[in-house]
Amino acid sequence: GDSVTQMEGPVTLSEEAFLTINCTYTATGYPSLFWYVQYPGEGLQLLLKATKADDKGSNKGFEATYRKETTSFHLEKGSVQVSDSAVYFCALSWAGKFYFGSGTKLNVKP
Amino acid sequence: DTAVSQTPKYLVTQMGNDKSIKCEQNLGHDTMYWYKQDSKKFLKIMFSYNNKELIINETVPNRFSPKSPDKAHLNLHINSLELGDSAVYFCASSPDLGTEQYFGPGTRLTVT
């Protein structure tokens, strides 16, 4: 069945470090892909999305490229800040259903 | 204006009680959802409503019953609360099934 797998956390980085959070998916068709962010004590917020292969989603310095050949949608940021500390969820939608990954906690230290 | 709102934000109650959580969205979306998030941040979909009709009813206990009086509201009623029901419950909405979802701030339920 359709699913999303993302790297386990927590990921701990120093401020200004490069971030990669891996996400791979399994889908029977051509899904749309999403990254959501959850700051402490808050609900999930849509961070970025991509609807077809080779699309790049970007927002707030974060980027992810829809790679059909590797079934991946890795989240990257060139220079993280303490304020980026949160839980990040990869997700896909296909055929009217939505699937979330298990979440990856990011801790950024000053 | 808050797009998706939930009340209450915190709910502390004893085992065996019945409680409700309310959700409202002002985005004009057709689809609304309830999720349960455990202490490890894992999200589990509980229910989905599209145009006031139940679309998804995942394997949740029948003590949980969603009610949608109109497209903008989806409430969650829980009977005979158990310790294992303690979690954060999120309401979400989307323009249609399978499109990006917008989440409420969550309701932290603690059952003692």
**What average pLDDT does this structure show over B8-29?**
97
> Do residues A96 and B98 touch, judged by C-beta distance below 8 A?
yes
Dist CA B2 CA B4 (whole Å): 6
- Interchain pair A98, B105: CB under 8 A: no
B1 pLDDT band (50/70/90 cuts)?
A: low
pLDDT at B66: 92
Asked whether residue A103 carries a pLDDT value surpassing 90, the answer given is yes
In order of A33, A79, B80, B97, B100, the CA distances from A99 in angstroms are: 10, 28, 29, 12, 11
Encode pLDDT of B22-54 as tens digits.
999 999 999 999 999 999 999 999 999 988 788
> Do residues B69 and B57 touch, judged by C-beta distance below 8 A?
no
What residues of chain A lie within 8 A of the CB of B102, using their CB?
46
Residue of chain A whose alpha carbon sits nearest to that of B36:
A43
From A43, A95, A97, residue closest to B103, measured CB to CB: A43
Residue of chain B whose alpha carbon sits nearest to that of A9:
B40
- Interchain pair A103, B41: CB under 8 A: yes
Encode pLDDT of A37-83 as tens digits.
999 999 999 999 999 999 999 999 999 999 999 999 999 999 999 99
Q: How far is A33 from chain B (nearest CA, A)?
A: 9
Residue of chain A whose alpha carbon sits nearest to that of B96:
A96
